[in-house]
Each structure stands twice: as C-alpha cells, then as structure tokens.
C-alpha cells in the first residue's frame, strides 16, 4: 500500500452555527491547533500524498489558516450546501488527477486515528471499491447503521428508516470512507437527490457500488476517534480526550506527571525523559524541554526552550523566546521573555527578564527587572558571566553588565558596567533623628481633626 497514491478530501465547509461563533467551526482549536489541522495531520500520517480542502463559510479566513498548517493543500469552495456527495464533488479537479485512493474525511473530527485511515486504505489495496469507516458508540441512537451481509457492507441506513431489528445494530457510520480512485467520480456522479431534503448524500455510493457488483466493506475505528464536534461542549470533550492521550504518551515515554489530569500540553510540546512536571502546569505552543528538567507547580510556558536539568517555577512564566541553557534556574513569580538564561544562571524570585542575556553562573536578585521598552522600541540588556545583580534593581536598556560585575541592591542602572566593577545607582541615604516620631504625631493629629469635622 505504501506505493499507492492517495488524495485526502477534507470536508470543511460547514458553518457550525451551534458553535455560536463568527469563526468557521473547523478553525476552533484542540491543544492550540485548529481541529481541521489535526485532521490534516492524521491524513498525512496515513500517507496521503495530496490534500484537498472543501471550504465554504469564511473561505478567505480558511485559506489564510490553511497556509499555516497545510501550505500544499488545494482548496475548493462549495458555493451551495447540497449534501456530502455534492461537497466531495467540489474537489472534482483534484479527484480527476488519478489517485489510487480517495480518502473522504471531515474537518470536525479532530481525534481521528491515522491507523483507522490506513486500515480503510488497506481494504482498497486488497480490492475493495469502497471502505466505510464505522464505530461502536455507547448508544447507537441517532446514528446511521452499517448493514452487513456475508462480510460485505450493503447499505448505510439512517435510523428513521431502520427496521426494529436494524435499530439494534451497534455498528454505526462514522462518515469517513475510502474510495478507489478509478471508481470515485463515476460513483459520485451517480448519486441522486431524490430524498426529503433534495440533497446528494455520500452514503448512497455504498448501494450504488454494490449494485455494480463492486466490493464494499466496513472497517472499524474507536468511538473516540470518530467523535465529531458540533458545539463548544463537545469541543471541550475532545480536548479532554486529546489531553488524556498525550499525558499517557508522555508518561510512557519516561516523563513523570505527578498529577496528570492537571497538566495541559500543546499539539507540538516536546518533553524529554526523566523530566518531572508538578501539578497545574500549562504548556502553550512551541515548547521544547530536554531530559531531566523539573517544572514546578503552576508554571505557564509557551514558545520556550528548556535544556537538560533546568529548574522552573513554581509560578514561573516563560514567554516566547525564553531560552534556558543547562542547569539554569527560573524561580517563583519570575517572567522571562525573548531572553537567554545561560548555563547555571539563576533568576530566582519576583523578577522580569526580557530582551536580554543572562550569562553563565550569573545571579539575579529578587525584584530585578530589565527595563526593555520605552513605549516605542525594545532594547537589549546583556548581563555577563558570573555577574551578581542585587535585589530590587532596575536595569535600563540598552545596557551591559560586564563579566563578574556587581550591582548593589536597589540600584537603577542606566550606564554600562565594566567587567568586575561594582555599581551603585541609588540616592545616598539620609537619616534624621526624631523625624519619624514627629511625622507620626502630625499624621495622627490630622486624622483626628478629620474625624471631628465629620461628626
């Protein structure tokens, strides 16, 4: 089968009115990725060599989104919604190119397993003209039943048309199917619209193919894999299933999740073995973590690279561009953005490091901030190897702290500091004996006067 060409036709033209959103339904995200992109990834994993997306509502928005996750996909617009077979035929130009297999998929089934698609393709390789993907839901009520005889699929019967015996069938239509490329257009063109809605139903090709003496079979996917999304409640259910799968995969790959149900991964999270993740950690897109790191509770990480044996959190925020090198430490209530924290450097408490480099072995005291933005432009702060920045310091960029430089606590640094220099950037302390008592008495007298006036 590996040498057979395959076109995946993904139907994504539905308006998704039940989502109550101006955005096309299939662009709503699971794990930070549009659900239709999950479908594309599954098709690619099943070795589809071509992609055709049939779009409708929000066509321009869809095209822009598709360029990000499937730049080689062809897009076709279904101008009128006249049924699923009509939607597939919107991609006639792509189907006519002569692919061996045609996979028909739906953009709102983001959990579809590539193995289920490959199994349907295998049936085509073995000689079937149509392979319909079925599943067994907890309750078949509301689903079309797959009617089989002698190992062949003879019909897909909607529940309202089922006999009492057929209603007891638990094997249901998932909607997706594989069709032999040399039969696809001929079968699709034979589909009529002689039904209550006057629409062209893709499911009709099962009986049409059977009437022509072609082999039609059903394959089985898991219920979760076939789950379609129609509203935000179902979107949340799909997110939960995806997260549960990903957590299990991570743990089986050697990652310790102390409270798995509280950790949220993104679609592209990479995390190495022997990493420990404490409860309530959120990974946004673009996170790469090497082996042996420790991510403490309530940390929020996106667009960051974390090297081996780093220590992050608790309550840390790593924003896009954060780059932690080996054994770096970013502690509690710290934020790092577009900055490199080099090997063994420590940013321990209540600190903001943005647009900066913190050299190897440097120590950043509590309450330190890099003042990187003047309201118009961003500027860079360079902190050298082994430097020490005292607590409650403000480093006003652009500025350089040299190797081994020492910044006194409470300093505002506006000029670069040479290697091994000590810098103070604060006003000289002045102490006035007895002045504190005088101020307290004055303030107490003023407060008493306000109370008397109010009475």
> Which pLDDT score, from 0 to 100, does residue 134 have?
96
Give the rounded distance of the alpha carbon of 118 from its chain centre. Answer: 24
The confidence band for 436, taking pLDDT boundaries of 50, 70 and 90, is: confident
The model's pTM is 0.89
Question: How far is residue 334's CA from residue 338's CA, in Å, rounded to a whole number?
Answer: 14
Tell whether the model's pLDDT for residue 119 goes beyond 60. Answer: yes
**For 173-225, how does the pLDDT look when each residue is reduced to its tens digit (9 = 90+)?**
999 999 999 999 999 999 999 887 888 999 999 999 999 999 999 999 999 99
**For 35-67, how does the pLDDT look when each residue is reduced to its tens digit (9 = 90+)?**
999 999 999 999 999 999 999 877 888 888 888
Looking at residues 355-368, what average pLDDT do you find?
Answer: 98
Q: Are 1 and 125 in contact (CB under 8 A)?
A: yes
Tell whether the model's pLDDT for residue 159 goes beyond 90. Answer: no
The C-alpha torsion from 77 through 83 and 86 to 91, rounded to 10°, is 40
Question: Which residues pair with residue 398 across a beta bridge?
Answer: none
Instruction: Please report where in the chains the tokens 């209603």 appear, as a residue.
Output: 167
Tell whether the model's pLDDT for residue 1 goes beyond 60. Answer: no
Percent of the chain with pLDDT over 90: 84
Mind telling me the catalytic residues?
349
CATH 2.40.50.1070 fits 246-423, yes or no: no
Tell whether the model's pLDDT for residue 369 goes beyond 80. Answer: yes
Tell whether the model's pLDDT for residue 424 goes beyond 70. Answer: yes
> Which pLDDT score, from 0 to 100, does residue 2 have?
58
> Which pLDDT score, from 0 to 100, does residue 329 have?
98
**For 250-287, how does the pLDDT look when each residue is reduced to its tens digit (9 = 90+)?**
999 999 999 999 999 999 999 999 999 999 999 999 99
Question: How far is residue 283's CA from residue 250's CA, in Å, rounded to a whole number?
Answer: 13
Secondary structure (DSSP) of 253-288: TT-EESSGGG-B--TT-EE-TT-EE-SS-EE-SS-E
Question: How far is residue 58's CA from residue 355's CA, in Å, rounded to a whole number?
Answer: 37
**Mean pLDDT value across the chain:** 94
Alpha carbons within 13 A on the beta-carbon side of 214: 21
Looking at residues 366-392, what average pLDDT do you find?
Answer: 96
> Which pLDDT score, from 0 to 100, does residue 194 have?
86
Looking at residues 331-358, what average pLDDT do you find?
Answer: 98
Q: Is 250 exposed, middle or buried (0-12, 13-18, 19+ CB in 10 A)?
A: buried
Name which CATH class applies to 6-220.
alpha beta
Cβ within 8 Å of residue 404, ≥6 positions away:
384, 385, 386, 387, 419, 420
Tell whether the model's pLDDT for residue 15 goes beyond 80. Answer: no
> Which pLDDT score, from 0 to 100, does residue 65 have?
87
Domain extent listing, the chain = 6-220, 246-423
Looking at residues 357-383, what average pLDDT do you find?
Answer: 97
User: What DSSP designation does 94 have?
Assistant: H
> Which pLDDT score, from 0 to 100, does residue 197 have?
83
Looking at residues 98-107, what average pLDDT do you find?
Answer: 96
Q: Are 66 and 53 in contact (CB under 8 A)?
A: yes
**Among residues 348, 350, 388, which one has the least CA distance to residue 369?**
350
Secondary structure (DSSP) of 322-352: -EE-TT-EEEET-EEEEEEE-TT-EEEES-E
Which helix H or strand E contains 237, and what residues bound it? helix 232-252
| Token pair recorded at residue 28 | 């709503």
Tell whether the model's pLDDT for residue 14 goes beyond 90. Answer: no
Tell whether the model's pLDDT for residue 293 goes beyond 60. Answer: yes
Looking at residues 132-137, what average pLDDT do you find?
Answer: 96
């Amino acid at each position: 089968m590996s040498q057979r060409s395959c076109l995946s036709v993904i139907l994504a033209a539905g308006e998704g009115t039940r989502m109550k959103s101006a955005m096309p339904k299939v662009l709503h995200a699971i794990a930070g990725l549009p659900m239709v992109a999950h479908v594309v990834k599954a098709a690619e994993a099943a070795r589809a060599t071509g992609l055709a997306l049939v779009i409708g509502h929000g066509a321009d928005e869809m095209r822009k989104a598709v360029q990000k996750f499937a730049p080689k996909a062809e897009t076709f617009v279904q101008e009128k919604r006249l049924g699923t077979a009509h939607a597939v035929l919107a991609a006639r130009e792509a189907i006519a190119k002569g692919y061996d297999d045609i996979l028909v998929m739906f953009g709102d089934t983001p959990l579809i397993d590539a193995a289920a698609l490959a199994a349907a393709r295998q049936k085509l390789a073995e000689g079937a003209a149509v392979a319909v993907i079925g599943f067994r839901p907890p309750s078949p009520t509301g689903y079309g039943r797959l009617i089989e005889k002698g190992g062949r699929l003879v019909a897909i019967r909607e529940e309202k048309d089922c006999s009492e015996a057929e209603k007891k069938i638990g094997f249901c239509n998932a909607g997706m199917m594989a069709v032999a490329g040399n039969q696809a257009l001929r079968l699709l063109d034979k589909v009529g619209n002689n039904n209550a809605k006057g629409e062209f139903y893709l499911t009709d090709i099962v009986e049409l193919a059977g009437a022509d003496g072609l082999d039609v079979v059903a394959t089985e996917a898991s219920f979760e894999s076939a789950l379609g999304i129609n509203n935000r409640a179902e979107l949340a259910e799909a997110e939960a299933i995806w997260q549960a799968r990903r957590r299990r995969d991570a743990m089986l790959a050697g990652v310790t999740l102390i409270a798995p149900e509280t950790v949220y991964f993104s679609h592209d999270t990479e995390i190495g073995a022997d990493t420990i993740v404490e409860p309530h950690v959120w990974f946004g897109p673009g996170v790469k973590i090497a082996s042996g790191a420790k991510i403490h509770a309530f940390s929020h990480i996106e667009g960051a690279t974390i090297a081996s044996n780093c220590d992050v959190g608790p309550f840390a925020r790593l924003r896009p561009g954060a780059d932690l090198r080996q054994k770096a430490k970013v502690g509690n209530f710290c934020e790092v953005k577009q900055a490199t924290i080099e090997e063994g450097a420590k940013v321990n408490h209540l600190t903001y490091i943005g647009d900066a480099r913190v050299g190897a072995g440097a120590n950043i005291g509590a309450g330190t901030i890099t003042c990187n933005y003047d309201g118009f432009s961003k500027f860079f702060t360079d902190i050298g190897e082994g430097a020490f920045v005292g607590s409650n310091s403000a480093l006003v960029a652009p500025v350089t702290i040299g190797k081994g430089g020492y910044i006194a606590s409470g300093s505002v640094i506006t000029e670069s500091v040479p290697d091994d220099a000590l810098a103070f950037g604060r006003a000289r302390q002045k102490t006035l004996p007895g002045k504190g008592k005088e101020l307290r008495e004055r303030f107490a007298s003023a407060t008493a006067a306000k109370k008397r006036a109010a009475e």
